[in-house]
Structure 1
């Protein structure tokens, strides 16, 4: 294939998926059997539909199908009482099974889950008159799933219902309708193989006490009080706990263990005379029938929608209606011994948990090299995932997280060859970002400015700052730092190793977005990242800025006067610092005068954003005048830098200046509003170490670049990717008669 069409893959993860699709062009699921009414497969319209009005049902698939989900696009007719539905675990002989049904009702649509037992029907869950348009849009998609006694059904990206029922656990999928205008397209059946989450960690890490906080299940819990532990991540939606029951003799001393999930309790008591257990209460009520559970068996506690269910294997033991919404998980042990947390496996569909032990498929590198690297020069046998870059390594999540969010990052800083151990240094996290600019979200800076300060930025504004203090209960050299970021409503906070570092309130919270891990002049090492959010989704890659070619260097030596109107060329202007530097183009759309001007674009977030004007010496027999037209938006932060007598001197333009005695001053009256203005600076007015410059003056180099302010170069405080400004009529010349007034042409 041509190079332009070549496909490249990196950081790939492959998973087995069991799914069959029926598009009604060729049989895939198998032969459809009409159990009620007559149906037809329309291969021109790629759908299956009833031939006549009236109750109709058709089924396909295997009689041994279990734990699966069926979906289909439904075309909805106009008319009252029209009904369409999907079925699972259907038995053609007994007419038993489950279904989710949509029924036109008044101004909306009613959704219900129904159990059919051959002789009658029982409504398991019901949502009356959901406000959906009738007819439903063509994109409406219906689904129904059953796994381990739990039924979930409704509209994809719409209202859903949940119920628990201990009836049929296997059978065919089915389509239901009572109107010949109902049709079903794009039927898919996917098999649910829900398994406990796997903690992917190298075995030697699990055996090291230094790494127990992130490499073991015990590290996921926090002891909140005597004999009481809280799970560290909250549940904003559904959640599941797998619990391998321990032997209680001599461990819990024969006393109860209580799990609290939100407002609901689940109490286990040891059976007398053995090592098994029994359910004492579930959601505040005793079970309908006593159940003995031997040690070593796995219990599964599931919170799904408004249903809390307890199951053992594929068999549901008990279930209760509960309040939907966020919840916390905690454990109380009545005995003296600490529970064995290795038997607890906890998961949620709203979590992301990454130990970076496999290909980093959940992350996109923006800046630097991110790979396996050593943390300690004194212990080169230990390797972890980390990033390195001369200024600021940055890695972004491929998922976007919305609403409330809690993040825990286990991190350290790579030991340096010269300075030695500098951990922790700038272990920084950005949330609610756009995936390209750190200055688009909330940026939490921990141990910044070489362990001087902790900061919280909202975009480019400072919300909170505290003095850095070395955390307690951890060795700075060998320990890991549990960096916890919370965004709950208007409240934001940063804690490290359970110590509060800073907090702030934002009356106008930013919407959700991506997460970034980054640093400044340091190499972060990441051991594990865990994120709980109200919702998250995979987001497409963020489009970046691209440069086609660099301008040619000037063919002749540069001298005074230097004049560039950018009509035919860029003159001596060059962007030699790519990819950090600016991208230069002659632009026909924004010229101040004539046909063209110079367009300067930042290809990446932050960076030096540099434009080189002179890189060879120019001798000025008189103190020169710098004059140019500019069109600059507020987010552009650049200043002029001149190398005089072997040292760089700063001349302020649009960025804050460093408080140094060897600065030359600032150009007066600069306006950053995205409109054209004129600027002029007379070097006879410049000050250097409180003294005026004198002629002759040798300018060894001249550049426009971002100041070396740490979080400006990182992209937090300005110069986002894609920001652009324009220059025209640029001059560096000797003073002429009539130059007495440096602002003689004013700001325009």
Structure 2
């Protein structure tokens, strides 16, 4: 097979131009060793983009903060992040030029899909696949033009590895697949009758010393192609509790599908309430590095005590690496919990506070601001570092001298009610329990 593009001796890369059709892009190698050898394509159904959320979810200015596609992206510009006000529900415009990061974390193979995009809107756009949220690291795929026409340039930390001709015209679906040490770029043209033509492989690149890809960035240069158009399949689990919560087990309290507001009984969500510490646990056990994000809301009435409502904007709590029994085991983020008569947000390690904040931006907005909000809490564990994100902004990073290996997720509150909009998680390793902890 012919080599396509430069392969500098300083970078151990084999790059191939591959002719023919491919669907699914499952790759096997005919030979082991430093060279890739012959390629064999296993034909399978190409990955599908997820179905759009219900229109009424996207139309609602509060629910769309977790239900719309642009809710999965955040701008890299610190000034745009800092400009967000407490209680603000407007998402950042994703079509403004600049770099955006996908919030999820990849721990295994991933697929990036730009579905049915005008080819001329790709010029200048850059996809980043990086080990950290730094565009100078990792791989960058740039859609550009040269003397030979449109092409996709692949770089590793600014070193050009390959340039693949972009042979499709008009409108096409572009995919970038990371499979082990391989980067695969494919295109599938959309015919004039809106049917998809066979998928064509533009190029395959093998990095003999592949970088760990954990994050996906999209550098937007055209308003015609905003960041939310890019679909990322990195093995994340998204749970909106639209079906029975069979992946979760009740630890304490009353958990069911219930109304959030007495004035809007048609809006129902999965949630829990009760005295003590109502909690629901994941049945899955996450080991090693992991990322968990939960969108949580305050339940308006608990036990028919309306006079208590103004005091309920507190204790929207998330635990990772828990033992499945004590909610303060593992790393527990208590958002707006009451300590000595004051509301604080704090991170616990096995019940011991390791970070505390009284910053209003780290608490739960009070009645009037927080009535319909879904508050985003994200915990990311990477080695010994535990990062806390509150409403998409980094609040703190705790470095554990003796990091916990892993455990279960818990969503919980204290003498209160909590409702769940969406939970998203991914991990370097997932284990299923040998037996059910309890009936969901």
- Seen in structure 2, the aligned counterparts of structure 1 residues 461 and 304 have a Cα distance that, compared at 3 Å, is same
Q: Measure, in 2, the Cα distance between the counterparts of 1:451 and 1:216.
A: 35
Q: How does 1:613-652 map to 2 (within 5 A)?
A: none
Q: Does 1:303 align with 2:303?
A: no
Find the partner of 1:392 among 261, 272, 277.
Answer: 277
Bigger relative contact order (CA 8 A; separation at least 6):
2
Find the partner of 1:257 among 125, 129, 138.
Answer: 125
Per-residue CA deviations over 1:447-477 (Å, capped at 9, x if unaligned) read 1128711122211322222225255997322
- The secondary structure found in structure 1 opposite 2:275 is coil
Q: Which runs of 5+ in 1 are unaligned?
A: 1-145, 171-191, 272-276, 545-748
- Seen in structure 2, the aligned counterparts of structure 1 residues 243 and 414 have a Cα distance that, compared at 3 Å, is same
Larger radius of gyration: 1
Find the partner of 1:452 among 339, 343, 350.
Answer: 343
- Seen in structure 2, the aligned counterparts of structure 1 residues 447 and 439 have a Cα distance that, compared at 3 Å, is closer
Tell me if the contact between 1:398 and 1:540 (Cα under 8 Å) persists in the aligned partners.
no
C-alpha displacement at 1:521, in angstroms?
Answer: 1.1
C-alpha displacement at 1:255, in angstroms?
Answer: 4.3
- Seen in structure 2, the aligned counterparts of structure 1 residues 149 and 257 have a Cα distance that, compared at 3 Å, is same
- The secondary structure found in structure 2 opposite 1:261 is strand
C-alpha displacement at 1:431, in angstroms?
Answer: 0.9
Per-residue CA deviations over 1:291-333 (Å, capped at 9, x if unaligned) read 12432x3222111111111123543221212314233111112
Q: Measure, in 1, the Cα distance between the counterparts of 2:256 and 2:37.
A: 45
Q: How does 1:331-480 map to 2 (within 5 A)?
A: 331-335=218-222, 337=223, 339-349=225-235, 351-416=236-301, 417-422=306-311, 424-449=313-338, 452-467=343-358, 469-470=360-361, 475-480=369-374
- Seen in structure 2, the aligned counterparts of structure 1 residues 339 and 455 have a Cα distance that, compared at 3 Å, is same
Tell me if the contact between 2:283 and 2:436 (Cα under 8 Å) persists in the aligned partners.
no
Q: Measure, in 2, the Cα distance between the counterparts of 1:362 and 1:215.
A: 20
Q: Measure, in 2, the Cα distance between the counterparts of 1:290 and 1:499.
A: 37
Find the partner of 1:216 among 60, 68, 87.
Answer: 68
C-alpha displacement at 1:518, in angstroms?
Answer: 0.6
Q: Measure, in 2, the Cα distance between the counterparts of 1:508 and 1:162.
A: 40
- The secondary structure found in structure 1 opposite 2:62 is helix
- The secondary structure found in structure 2 opposite 1:536 is strand
C-alpha displacement at 1:222, in angstroms?
Answer: 0.5
Q: How does 1:84-95 map to 2 (within 5 A)?
A: none
The count of aligned residue pairs is 364
C-alpha displacement at 1:524, in angstroms?
Answer: 0.9
Equivalence for 2:215: 328
- Seen in structure 2, the aligned counterparts of structure 1 residues 169 and 397 have a Cα distance that, compared at 3 Å, is closer
Tell me if the contact between 1:493 and 1:503 (Cα under 8 Å) persists in the aligned partners.
yes
C-alpha displacement at 1:204, in angstroms?
Answer: 1.0
C-alpha displacement at 1:411, in angstroms?
Answer: 0.9
Equivalence for 2:141: 266
C-alpha displacement at 1:200, in angstroms?
Answer: 7.0
Equivalence for 1:52: none
Tell me if the contact between 2:144 and 2:153 (Cα under 8 Å) persists in the aligned partners.
no
- 4+ residue stretches of structure 1 with deviation over 6 A? 159-165
- Aligned CA RMSD, in angstroms, stands at 3.4
- Seen in structure 2, the aligned counterparts of structure 1 residues 227 and 423 have a Cα distance that, compared at 3 Å, is farther
Equivalence for 2:112: 241
- Seen in structure 2, the aligned counterparts of structure 1 residues 153 and 248 have a Cα distance that, compared at 3 Å, is closer
Tell me if the contact between 2:347 and 2:354 (Cα under 8 Å) persists in the aligned partners.
yes
Per-residue CA deviations over 1:199-243 (Å, capped at 9, x if unaligned) read 574331112222222101111011113511111112222111121
Find the partner of 1:229 among 67, 81, 100.
Answer: 100
Equivalence for 1:695: none
- Seen in structure 2, the aligned counterparts of structure 1 residues 543 and 255 have a Cα distance that, compared at 3 Å, is closer
- The secondary structure found in structure 1 opposite 2:406 is coil
C-alpha displacement at 1:533, in angstroms?
Answer: 1.7
Tell me if the contact between 2:75 and 2:101 (Cα under 8 Å) persists in the aligned partners.
yes
Q: Measure, in 2, the Cα distance between the counterparts of 1:403 and 1:278.
A: 42
Per-residue CA deviations over 1:39-77 (Å, capped at 9, x if unaligned) read xxxxxxxxxxxxxxxxxxxxxxxxxxxxxxxxxxxxxxx
Q: How does 1:74-153 map to 2 (within 5 A)?
A: 148-152=24-28
Q: Measure, in 2, the Cα distance between the counterparts of 1:290 and 1:264.
A: 18
Q: Measure, in 2, the Cα distance between the counterparts of 1:236 and 1:260.
A: 15
- TM-score of the pair, normalised by structure 1: 0.44
Q: Measure, in 2, the Cα distance between the counterparts of 1:298 and 1:395.
A: 40
Q: Measure, in 2, the Cα distance between the counterparts of 1:213 and 1:453.
A: 24
- TM-score of the pair, normalised by structure 2: 0.73
C-alpha displacement at 1:269, in angstroms?
Answer: 4.1
Q: Measure, in 1, the Cα distance between the counterparts of 2:65 and 2:34.
A: 38
Equivalence for 1:281: 153
- Seen in structure 2, the aligned counterparts of structure 1 residues 341 and 289 have a Cα distance that, compared at 3 Å, is closer
Q: Measure, in 2, the Cα distance between the counterparts of 1:387 and 1:160.
A: 55
C-alpha displacement at 1:270, in angstroms?
Answer: 8.0
Per-residue CA deviations over 1:404-426 (Å, capped at 9, x if unaligned) read 12221111111123333556411
